[in-house]
Structures are given as C-alpha cells and as structure tokens.
Amino acid sequence: MSYQVLALKYRPQTFSDVVGQDHVTTTLTNAISGNRVPHALLLAGPRGTGKTTIARIMAKAMTCQTGPTPSPCNECRICKDIISGHCADVFEIDGASNNSVEQIRELRDNVAYMPSAARYKIYIIDEVHMLSVAAFNALLKTLEEPPDHVLFIFATTEVHKIPATILSRCQRHDLSRIALDKISDHLESLCRKEGYTVEREGLELIALEADGSIRDGLSLLDRILSAGPEKEIDRQMIAQRLRSTDRKILFSIASAVLERDGAQLIDLVSKINDAGMDLKEFYSGIIAQFRNLNIIRLCGKESPVLNMIETEKHELDRMCKKFSSAYLGMLLDLLLKEESIVRFASHTQTAVEMVLLKMIQIEPEIRLDEIITKVDLLARRMENRLGRAGVDAPASQCDNPARESVQPAEQPQPPGDPFTEKVPLAAHRPMPEPVPYEPAHEQVPPSDIQTDSSGSRSSSGPAPPLRQEQAHQGPPTWSQFMDVLQRDLPFIFGLFSKGRADTSNPDKVIVTLASCSGFEQSRLNTKTKVLTALSRKHLGKSIEVTIENNTGPADERFRQQESRQKAEQAATGHPMVQHAVRLFNADII
C-alpha cells in the first residue's frame, strides 16, 4: 500500500520527538551518556503513550554505528534496519502470542550467541505480563545474570501482573497519560504538515476522545481527514464524524439538571438516541461532566486535575457558583450508584431518563448565609409588628374596660347563656384527690333580675374577673391516667384498652383483661411498680394497679361496674342536670 497512516508516518525516531514523556526520555538519555544502561528495562503505562516507540529508540541508541549515543543518526544501516523492522539483532516479541515456556526456552538458548552485526542483541517483549508463570520462571535465571551483549526491554500495560521476582531484576519506568494541550499541539502540527486547517476546539475534542493516548489521537485524526475532501474542518464536522457525545449537549444536560428542568432532559436524551450515539458512552460523559463540576467547585477552574479546554472551564465555573459542593456531590454520587443499572438495562434510554429525573428530585441545600439573612429579615418584621401592637394596645383596652373585666379565662360562652360553662365530666368515676380539693369561690354573674340595694350588685354594674381556678379539670380520673399510659407506655395502654377497670377502691384499681397471653401477663406483672410510680407522678397519689385475667366469676362484677358507669354517664349528661350545674356553677360528686 502506498498510503501510510499518521501513527506510522510520524512515529518519533529520537528521544526529543517523544511527546509528553520527558521524565522517561531524560533519564534514559542521561543513562546512555553516563554509560549506566541496565541490562533489563521495564516500560509501564497506558496504551498508546510511547512504550514500544521508546524501546525502539533505545535499541537504535545502543546499536547505532556512532553510538552508544542518546541521539541515533537514523542514517546508518543498523538504524534503518531497526526502523524498517528487519534488523537481525533486534527481536520484537509479542508476549500475548509467544507466552509458552518452550518459546522462552528457545529465547534463552539463543541468548548465548553473539550478535551478527550490531553491538548488542536486544529483545523487546511487548505485553510481557501475558507470559505464563512457567515462562517467567524459565526467563528468571537468564534475566538475573545475562550475557554482556544482551539487553532486555519489556513493555506492559498491566505491571501488577508481573511477578515480583521479575520486577526486582528490571529498571522500571512508568509512562503517564499525555496532557490534553500537548496532544492538541501535536495534532495541530501534523495537520499543518498534511495541508489541513482544523479548528482548535475540534482538535481538543479529538484529544479528549484520545484520553491521554497519542496513538488513539492520531488514529481519530486519520479517520476525520479521510472522511471527506475538505481541507478546512471545523468543530461541528469533527463531532459528527467522530459520532461521539457532543460536548455542547453535555453542557445542556448539566444546565437542565441544575435548573431542574425535566422536560428539557427528556428532549435531550431523545435527541442523543435519535442521532445514533451510544447512550452508555453518553452516560459516561455525564459522569465526567459532573465530576468536573465538583472539582471546579472544590478546587477552582485552574486545578491541574481538570482535563478540559479553557472555554469549558469558564462555562462550568459559571454554572457551579450558585450551588454548594455538597449538593453537586450528591448528584455525582447518584450517577455512580445508578451506573450499573444503565450498563445492563435492556431499555437504555429509559434507564438514562429515569436517572436524570431522579437527579432533579434532589433538593439543593440552602447556604448558611442565606439562612442567616432570612432569619434576620423575619426578626425585623416581628419587631415591627410587636412595636405597632404595643402602640395600639392602650387605646383598645380603654374602649370598654367593663367588658374586659368580665371576660372568662377559658373559651367563650354559648349564645344566650350568661353563665360560665363547666368542663365536661369524665366518663369514669373520679378517683380521690391526693390533696384537699378546694372549689373555686367566685361570685356568680347576676341574672337579668335586679337586686335591692342591700343585696348583691345589679346586673348593670361591672362584674369582677373570674378566677383562674374556675377552669380546673376536677379530681384526677382513670381516663386521665390512661392518657398518660398512651403517651408513656403504649404497649400497656393497648392491653388496658381491651380490658375493664374497677375503680371502686380509691387506693387500688383492678384491671381485668379479656384476652391476655402468658407472655403479656408476665410483662404486665413486671410493670406494676412502674404504673404505681406513674400514678404518683401524674395523679399525686400512689395507686396500686392489679392485673387479672378474665377467669369468669369476675365478669358479673365488672358488668355491674360497667352498668353503673353507664348510668352515671346518662345522669350527668341529662339536660336538666347540666342546666343545674351551669346555674349554680357546681361540681357533681
């Protein structure tokens, strides 16, 4: 084939041409210059970052006719043979396909022979971690004490799979992912050499897709340049030809989530799906977008961990200023938790839509300064209202002092009834009061009948205010104690509600349960002291509570008790009795 892809056509031939791995190339250059080259090198790093390229440059530097030199000439026969891959003394071995112990034993036997033309015999083993354990063991002795004319160069993307016995016998160099701006600059220089004018943002989009790999970036650029005859390529054209997630849509998604616009989110996901883009890759882009939002909110837009173009940094910085880092962290946490569901969903579009709709349900946190401002505003409003009320109060009080003096302490009186209504009596018979009960002694408001001058005051005179004791609830009752149980001991309250209580003895209450299991009976028996303490605390007197099961003979007694209680309720609720209570402001005892 006459055409050569960009990755091969512009492959670096010297250490200075390698992009983004200065820490490795500088070390190797100094080692060659100082004659301190080890017999085994291990180059580890992500794919497409220059491991094999550096290994070939190292082979040329050690075997060049002008060397060993850190700058091979690339003109001598050995350099040209290494570039073309036909050098008899440089062996490139694929560890994935040559991983058996027999092949390593053959390599070990050939190591003993001297090189045919070059100064050294060099073995480059790519993906060395794919060798079997037996193959590593066969290589171990040779690697520990190799001949002086042999140099091993290993390359791997998974260094953790290499045995420690091999690692300890190699000089290790870790290659890093290449920065976004360095990949963009390298692609831009190659486009100029090829006669193309490509928009800078488009090249940065390619660099983002390359994910730190020069080789991947060159492959993507090759595909874009081959897609059409255009010599001028803009960002939109690159996005369409890559068929990758458009960065502008990711910004629209982030904006819609932060603005909690569900309709916009559904529309954007539908557009992505209709365009034929991979929704799972799109979901990964959303995760990366909210990760960048969190980093900018926490570390600022100049953080070195951001792998973004400058315009995108400014846009994300503007978006995240209104929200707390805790809120943005919750959004990212939800995306990560739902990732497995999206990956394995049979309806990926629906899964992505549901995750985005869940995100807008998360309420943003109110910042502390906003809370303080709102509290101060409310406090000022309350002070203003209280100030106005204090000014208006004296005038309103002087309008009708007599009316204010006769106003009862409790709820308003019913229409047509000039007397204060008593609080309804309890359904159960009241228990004796622990302290002497003193009824209220207040004067009854006069009726419409006028009295003489020697008697009480007339109805037209101002009535004295009612005493606070007038609204007392009367002596404590069993129903009040049941209210205490409902609040403090709901388990016992539930059992007592199903039974009947005999309150005829003022110092002892017998509770008979209709149906009570042995377990419930044992629990209740352990609570009698607690019940006595509660009665002393809330009723003012220690009442002994005895709990019995419904055994039969006691039924008649409790039926009589229940009948008596119903009769008392009917009597106290009779209209004539109620009228008499109101008329004389009395209590039923």
Single-letter amino acid, residue 313: K
Domain 180-242 listed as CATH 3.40.50.300: no
Q: Please state the φ and ψ torsions of residue 544, each to the nearest 5 degrees.
A: -80, 125
Whether the per-residue pLDDT at 353 is higher than 90: the answer is yes
pLDDT tier at 190, thresholds 50, 70, 90: very high
Buried b (16+ CB within 10 A) or exposed e, 133-170: eebbebbeebbeebeebbbbbbbbbebeebeeebeebb
Neighbouring CB atoms inside 10 A of 332's CB total 18
pLDDT tier at 245, thresholds 50, 70, 90: low
For the domain spanning 6-174, the CATH number is: 3.40.50.300
11-16: average pLDDT:
92
476-483: average pLDDT:
71
Q: Compute, in degrees rounded to 10, the torsion defined by CA atoms 245, 247, 253, 254.
A: 130
Contacts of residue 29, Cβ cutoff 8 Å, sequence gap at least 6: 15, 70
> Which of 13-27, 57-71, 384-398 is predicted with the least confidence, judged by mean pLDDT?
384-398
pLDDT tens string 205-214: 888 888 889 9
pLDDT the model gives residue 311: 79
pLDDT tens string 496-535: 776 777 777 767 777 777 666 666 667 677 777 777 787 7
pLDDT tier at 583, thresholds 50, 70, 90: confident
pLDDT the model gives residue 390: 53
pLDDT tens string 413-459: 444 443 333 334 334 444 444 444 444 444 444 444 343 444 444 44
Q: Which range, 130-144, 361-375, 517-531, is most confident?
A: 130-144
Whether the per-residue pLDDT at 224 is higher than 80: the answer is yes
> Which of 84-88, 235-239, 369-373 is predicted with the least confidence, judged by mean pLDDT?
369-373
Q: Please state the φ and ψ torsions of residue 132, each to the nearest 5 degrees.
A: -75, 165
pLDDT the model gives residue 283: 92
For the domain spanning 478-584, the CATH number is: 3.30.300.180
Q: Which residues pair with 197 in a beta bridge?
A: 232
pLDDT tens string 257-288: 999 999 999 999 999 888 888 899 889 989 99
Contact (CB, 8 A) for 175 and 10 = no
Single-letter amino acid, residue 224: I
Q: Give the domain ranges of the chain.
A: 6-174, 180-242, 247-359, 368-397, 478-584
31-35: average pLDDT:
92
Contacts of residue 75, Cβ cutoff 8 Å, sequence gap at least 6: none
For the domain spanning 247-359, the CATH number is: 1.20.272.10
pLDDT the model gives residue 176: 92
pLDDT the model gives residue 464: 40
Whether the per-residue pLDDT at 588 is higher than 90: the answer is no
- What is the dihedral sign for C-alpha 97, 103, 104, 108? negative
> Which of 91-100, 297-306, 519-528, 552-561 is predicted with the least confidence, judged by mean pLDDT?
552-561
pTM for the full predicted model = 0.57
Whether the per-residue pLDDT at 405 is higher than 80: the answer is no
pLDDT tier at 313, thresholds 50, 70, 90: confident
> Which of 193-197, 267-271, 309-313 is predicted with the least confidence, judged by mean pLDDT?
309-313
DSSP state of 128: G
Contact (CB, 8 A) for 489 and 497 = no
3-class SS of residue 131: coil
